[in-house]
């Protein structure tokens, strides 16, 4: 599995200089909204007990190594532990089931966008291609009276999440964390295409 990710991130790092100018502006802007700053995504994950399930999943898939460099410039929509618990309950899965699943990697990749975006740079209707090839997240208006920043739509119509106001625009190296209150599940065909491609690469 790792090779696919190594590849995805190699592409990402090559693309990084194109984002450099934008990142400077963003770093300044986000510094004003986030009280705590981290030097990298693993540092954020290690410091925040509310995201330990997400951290465990990043660890087990090896994705944590791909995002460990402080120069990696992505936006991570990070589900809280409560989000994972709700997801597991709804799917009638145990945490072990999820962590063992071939679906874990594509689900995680659906939460990472290879561009750094503060919430003030997002706009309603914006489509954000994720690291899960061929899938987008879409920015939507927050549910009225929800106190959320934006709602995030997955391509799976049953899967949406809200950006949590108290935990958005968290600086982690060159990346930003946007905490969300639900797991963003891709469509089944997107998951299966990913698993099939991974199996082909592993078999080759």
Ligand X SMILES: *[C@@H]1O[C@H](CO)[C@@H](O)[C@H](O)[C@H]1NC(C)=O
Parallel, antiparallel or unpaired: strands 75-79 and 175-180: parallel
Does position 50 bind ligand X by CB under 6 A? Answer: yes
Rank residues 4 and 45 by Cβ distance to ligand X and give the closer one.
45
146, two tokens = 């929800």
Please give the full DSSP string across 91-107, using - where no structure is assigned.
Answer: HT--HHHHHH-TTHHHH
- Cβ at position 61, least distance to ligand X in Å: 11
User: Per CB under 6 A, which of residues 162..181 are in contact with ligand X?
Assistant: 164, 166-167, 179
Candidates 5-13, 15-23, 53-61, 70-78: pick the segment binding ligand X (CB under 6 A).
53-61
Rank residues 67 and 164 by Cβ distance to ligand X and give the closer one.
164
Parallel, antiparallel or unpaired: strands 151-153 and 136-140: antiparallel
Rank residues 62 and 202 by Cβ distance to ligand X and give the closer one.
62
What Rg, from alpha-carbon coordinates, does the chain have? 16
Does position 149 bind ligand X by CB under 6 A? Answer: no
Cα pseudo-dihedral 145, 149, 154, 157, rounded to 10: 10
Give how many residues touch ligand X by CB under 6 A.
15
- 33/51 Cα distance (integer angstroms): 20
Candidates 90-98, 127-135, 142-150, 195-203: pick the segment binding ligand X (CB under 6 A).
127-135
- 137/112 Cα distance (integer angstroms): 9
Residue ranges in contact with ligand X by CB under 6 A:
46, 50, 52, 55-56, 59, 80, 127, 129, 134, 136, 164, 166-167, 179
């Amino acid at each position: 599995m790792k090779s696919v990710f190594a590849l995805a991130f190699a592409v990402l790092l090559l693309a990084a200089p194109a984002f450099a100018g934008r990142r400077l502006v963003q770093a300044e802007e986000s510094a004003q909204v986030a009280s705590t700053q981290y030097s990298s995504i693993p540092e954020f994950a290690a410091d925040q007990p509310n995201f330990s399930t997400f951290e465990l999943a990043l660890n087990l898939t090896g994705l944590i190594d791909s995002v460990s460099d402080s120069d990696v410039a992505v936006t991570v929509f990070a589900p809280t532990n409560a989000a994972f618990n709700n997801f597991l309950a709804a799917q009638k899965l145990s945490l072990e089931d999820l962590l063992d699943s071939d679906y874990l990697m594509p689900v995680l990749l659906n939460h990472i966008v290879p561009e750094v975006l503060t919430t003030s740079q997002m706009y309603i209707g914006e489509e954000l291609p994720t690291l899960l090839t061929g899938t987008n997240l879409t920015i939507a208006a927050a549910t009225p009276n929800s106190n959320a920043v934006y709602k995030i739509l997955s391509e799976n119509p049953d899967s949406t999440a809200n950006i949590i106001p108290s935990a958005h625009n968290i600086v982690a190296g060159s990346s930003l964390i946007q905490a969300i209150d639900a797991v963003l599940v891709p469509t089944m065909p997107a998951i299966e295409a990913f698993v099939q491609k991974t199996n082909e690469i592993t078999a080759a």
